[in-house]
Amino acid sequence: MFARRDAAVRAVSERRAPRVLDVGSGSGRVGELMLEAGAGRYLGIDFSEPMTELARARLARFRDRAELRTANFLEADLGDRFDVVVALGLFDYIEDPVPFARRMAELCADVTIASFPRWDWVKGPIRRAKYRVVNDCPIFDYTPRELDFLFRSAGFARVAQEVRRTGILLHAFSH
């Protein structure tokens, strides 16, 4: 969790006042850190109004640079392209990641940073039972090979991955 957050913040701090799109922005915890790191414009989009309201409260001090929307990412008019596109913890719950990766490629002017769960024989069965059986929430796992194919097919020029035991941190570059 910390590695993916740090990667997003680092991507922002390495660029001069980048335009940032946070897909599945949730309560704005990562958005706050990216704004503190120098995001020139931040757009957080989430399908959950309660999460967007939490983010509004958290990011109130950044009103001049932050915008939050409750909308369907695949359908929303988001305007221009973004230097940094972030999707942390989003793909865990996406049954069909193809349209999401394609839309990210369309909107990305430089780099997309996304996190993905990876099957782990120790924690995987427990996690799957917790989400699918107890919470009635399907979750999805990915392999590095699948992700490379997914993001290159979506239109990204280059894909780099940090593969860890329980997750994959992906950097997809538009050029």
pLDDT at 95: 87
- The answer, yes or no, to whether residue 39 has pLDDT greater than 90, is yes
pLDDT of residue 51: 97
DSSP strand pairing (158-163 vs 82-87): unpaired
Give the domains, in start order, of the chain with CATH numbers.
Answer: 2-173 (3.40.50.150)
Residues forming a β-bridge with 172: 112, 159
pLDDT tens digits for range 101-150: 999 999 999 999 999 887 666 666 666 666 666 666 677 788 899 999 99
Q: What pLDDT is attached to residue 124?
A: 66
The model carries a pTM of 0.92
115, β-bridge pairs: 169
- Residues 6 or more apart whose CB falls under 8 angstroms from that of 51 comprise 25, 26, 27
Identity of residue 160: A
Instruction: Please say if the pLDDT value at position 5 is more than 90.
Output: yes
* pLDDT of amino acid 60: 98
Contact 103, 79 (CB under 8 A): no
Mean residue pLDDT of the chain comes to: 92
Residues in contact with 164: Cβ distance below 8 Å, sequence separation at least 6, in sequence order: 3, 118
Q: Tell me, what DSSP letter sits at residue 58?
A: H
Neighbours of 104 (CB within 10 A): 26
